[in-house]
Structure formats: structure tokens, C-alpha cells
Amino acid sequence: MRTALVIGTGLIGTSVALALSARGIRVHLQDADPERPRTAAALGAGTDESPDGPVDLAVIAVPPAHIAPTVVGLQREGRARACLDVGSVKGRPRRELVELGGDLSRYLGSHPMAGRERSGPLAADETLFEGRPWVLTPTPETDTEVLNLALELVSVCRAVPVVMEADAHDRAVALVSHTPQLLSSLVAARLEDADDAAVRLCGQGIRDVTRIAASEPRMWIEILSANPGPVADVLAALAADLDGTVRALRAMESADEAKRAAGASDIEAVLRRGNAGRDRVPGKHGAAPAEYETVAVLISDTPGELARIFADAGRAGVNIEDVRIEHATARQAGLVQLMVDPVAAPVLSAALRERGWSIRQ
Ligand SMILES: NC(=O)c1ccc[n+]([C@@H]2O[C@H](COP(=O)([O-])OP(=O)(O)OC[C@H]3O[C@@H](n4cnc5c(N)ncnc54)[C@H](O)[C@@H]3O)[C@@H](O)[C@H]2O)c1
Ligand SMILES: O=C(O)C(=O)C[C@]1(C(=O)O)C=C[C@@H](O)C=C1
């Protein structure tokens, strides 16, 4: 691939463009909002000038309802040898493309399973897709050259290609992405009118559960509008679980000891099912979840503290696999949890202590 056109230079489009540009591919940037390609170009994602002739690959990173008309427009004008979209829903855009008379042989629906709770080019990150699954939904009509260009893109973004059928993909993301977004929003929504006294107590648990509640509502309404049925199916099953959980908790309030015990046992079953489900969530790079050990370090909330810890860990020869930061609401301090190989944990603790860091057990 030598040239690409990215349409929609928001979070995902600009992240793709940055990865392509870093590999020396000439990337043209286009968006309905003319300010956005300018911003993306200033970040080094490519040029906001139009291409002279057809590009090798057009990457369409616009909301799902705009995918099919954008692909058809590009195909009619002959602006790209191949078109690939990165939308979070795959079935409906393909059906719309068929209705609009698009050429399915020169189009491939795809979906990188990576993102953030922020939108727009300024949130973009060239490394966003590294090690993440990138779903490709080829059909018998898909031209081999188009599939090869898509595989090249996935490889340039250092993602892991996963081939799926479009509707199966939509049912899967209803479970692993769209329902979690709604649940996160629903839990966070409970805080809207909550007492300040309660909100002040927010710890890491609620921060973990509500991170994606900060997502852009306009983007999510577009995603959910394109996949409402499968999401409603998962939520209906969850609602039944919630009803059962409420009943069990009410039983735990009973004066009757047998009822209390039955309620507690039902709640324990919910928690155990949760453990089992969580164990199935793949770890970094799509591998089986690794068992890391946590080294917790107290830091003051001043610039450069994190960088110093990472540098000291590097000097100790320890690879940090994952990191979490817990901010203490009442103090200008935080707890950094460094996840490392269990063998490396004592080495890291000793090295950091030696350099004056305060380690928490
Ligand atoms: N945000 C995520 O976590 C995530 C992850 C994977 C895939 N996706 C998918 O990627 C696509 C882009 O999402 P995003 O998060 O980058 O959103 P974003 O809001 O950051 O960017 C979308 C961009 O598309 C532009 N746009 C809208 N309609 C357009 C049109 N008709 N022509 C040209 N430009 C148009 C907007 O101006 C905006 O700059 C969506 O289809 C989304 O479902 C999002
Ligand atoms: O990590 C996040 O912030 C995301 O919202 C990413 C996430 C996801 O649910 O995993 C969200 C929507 C996309 O279609 C793909 C990825």
C-alpha cells in the first residue's frame, strides 16, 4: 500500500492515519468538519489535501449510518481501489450498501476492538490498536486484493486479525462492548443526584466500572441505533439476573434464617459466576489472562512522578505489564499499582524501596 484516504478524522480515523503515516504511506485526510483534518495533519497523521487520483485504500471512520453512503460515493467517483470501514456495527451498513447498489467486491467491513472514552483527533494514538483483535468480515464477493490490503492495514496497526461473519460480530459486540457501555452509563447515572457525602467516598471500584460512562453520547447513540436488537436481548437476560439478585437480597433481610441462608447462597452464586466470566476475559495481546503480581507505590500528585517510577523500574530490569492509578480524593497523592511477573515483584519492590519510594503491601 502506498496511498490511503482516511474519511472521518476523529479518534479512530486519526489513530489509523498516524499508524499508516509512520510507515511512510501517504495519507490524505478528509472529514465533514474541515477543522478536523487540519488538526489531524498537524499531529502528523497525513495531509488535508485531496489525492490527485485513486488511492490504494480508503479507510472510512465515520459513524455507522454514514458508512454506506460514503462508500458508495467513493466508488462512484472512483477515488479508491478498495474501501474498508472501521464501524462498531457490521450487519446494517453492509445491508445499506447493498440497497444503495454499492460494489461489495471492493469493500470490506472491519472493526478494530480498541477505542477510548474520548472522541476527536486530539484523543488519537498511533499505538491504539497494538495487540488488539481487529475483526474482518469478508464475504464470498470480497476481492482477494481488498482482503490483502485490509490485512496489510491490520499489520501496520500491529493488531490481530479475526475473521467473522457480520451478524455474528454484531451479536458478539452486543455482549462484550455495547451492553457494558450501557451498564457503565446506568451505574454512573445513579451518581447524578447522589449526596455529595456519598460521592466523596468513590474508590477504585466505581472508577473501574464507570470509565466508559464518560464516552461521547452522540457516537454511542449511532452505534446502538445500528444494533438495538442484539443489545436488547443481552439486557433482557441481565434484567432477569437483576430481578433474581434483588429477590435474593430481600430474602437476606428476612427474619427466617433458612430464607436468609438461601438468599446468601444465591448471591454467592452470582459472585462466583462473575469470577468465572471475568476469568474468560483475555489478557494483553489477546492471550490468556496472565497472573501478575501487584507492586503498589505511593506517589505525590506532582508532574513527572510516574515517569520516574517507570525509569526506576526499567533500571531494575523489570517489565511493567499493566498499570493502574488510584487517586486519593482527599489528598494530593495517589497509589500506583504496577502489575509485573510474580518472579519480578520482589526485585521491583526492593529496587524501588532502595530508590526511596514508599511501597504499600
Ligand atoms: N470510539 C471507539 O471506541 C471506537 C472503536 C472502534 C470503532 N469505532 C467506530 O469508528 C467510527 C468512528 O468513531 P470515532 O470514535 O473515531 O468517532 P469520532 O467522533 O472521534 O470521529 C468521527 C468523525 O467522523 C466525522 N464524520 C461524521 N460523518 C461524516 C461524513 N458523512 N463524512 C465525513 N466525515 C464524517 C466527524 O466529523 C468526526 O470527525 C465509528 O463508526 C465507530 O463506531 C469507534
Ligand atoms: O475502551 C474503550 O474505551 C472502548 O470503549 C472501546 C470499545 C470497547 O467496547 O471495547 C468501544 C467501542 C468500539 O466499537 C470498540 C472498542
What CATH number does residue 216 fall under? 1.10.3660.10
Q: Are residues 270 and 298 in the same domain?
A: no
Ligand nearest to the CA of 213: 2
What CATH number does residue 86 fall under? 3.40.50.720
CA of 86 to the centre of ligand 1 (A): 9
Q: Are residues 149 and 9 in the same domain?
A: yes
CA of 170 to the centre of ligand 2 (A): 13
Q: Tens of pLDDT along 155-209?
A: 999 999 999 999 999 999 999 999 999 999 999 999 999 999 999 999 999 999 9
CA of 134 to the centre of ligand 1 (A): 16
CA of 10 to the centre of ligand 1 (A): 6
Q: Are residues 30 and 119 in the same domain?
A: yes
Answer yes or no: are the C-beta atoms of 164 and 135 closer than 8 Å: yes
Q: Are residues 160 and 175 in the same domain?
A: no
**CB-ligand 2 contact for 125 (6 Å cutoff):** no
Q: Tens of pLDDT along 17-76?
A: 999 999 999 999 999 999 999 999 999 999 999 999 999 999 999 999 999 999 999 999
Answer yes or no: are the C-beta atoms of 324 and 204 closer than 8 Å: yes
Q: Quick one: cell of 113?
A: 476492538
Residue 324 pLDDT greater than 60, yes or no: yes
pLDDT of amino acid 328: 62
Ligand nearest to the CA of 222: 1
CA of 222 to the centre of ligand 1 (A): 10
What CATH number does residue 346 fall under? 3.30.2130.10
**CB-ligand 2 contact for 318 (6 Å cutoff):** no
Residue 25, judged by CB atoms within 10 A of its CB (0-12, 13-18, 19+), counts as: buried
Q: What is the dihedral of CA 32, 36, 38, 44, to 10 degrees?
A: -130
The answer to whether residue 339 sits within a structural domain is yes
Answer yes or no: are the C-beta atoms of 63 and 88 closer than 8 Å: no
Q: Are residues 125 and 142 in the same domain?
A: yes
Q: Are residues 48 and 196 in the same domain?
A: no
Three-state secondary structure call for residue 2: coil
Residue nearest to atom 8 of ligand 2 (CA): 177
The answer to whether residue 284 sits within a structural domain is no
Residue nearest to atom 27 of ligand 1 (CA): 62
| Residue 26 domain boundaries | 3-164
The answer to whether residue 221 sits within a structural domain is yes
Residue 330 pLDDT greater than 60, yes or no: no
CA of 107 to the centre of ligand 2 (A): 23
- CA 259 to CA 252: how far, in whole Å? 7
Q: Are residues 15 and 153 in the same domain?
A: yes
If one counts the domains in the chain, the total is 3
Ligand nearest to the CA of 73: 1
Q: Are residues 228 and 160 in the same domain?
A: no
The answer to whether residue 287 sits within a structural domain is no
Residue nearest to atom 42 of ligand 1 (CA): 87
The answer to whether residue 286 sits within a structural domain is no
Q: Are residues 32 and 134 in the same domain?
A: yes
For 113, list phi and psi in degrees, rounded to 5. Answer: -85, 65
Answer yes or no: are the C-beta atoms of 179 and 121 closer than 8 Å: no
Q: Are residues 20 and 75 in the same domain?
A: yes
The answer to whether residue 186 sits within a structural domain is yes
Q: Are residues 39 and 86 in the same domain?
A: yes
DSSP string, 199-251: HTT--HHHHHHHGGGGS-HHHHHHHHHTSHHHHHHHHHHHHHHHHHHHHHHHH
Q: Are residues 143 and 210 in the same domain?
A: no
Residue 287 pLDDT greater than 80, yes or no: no
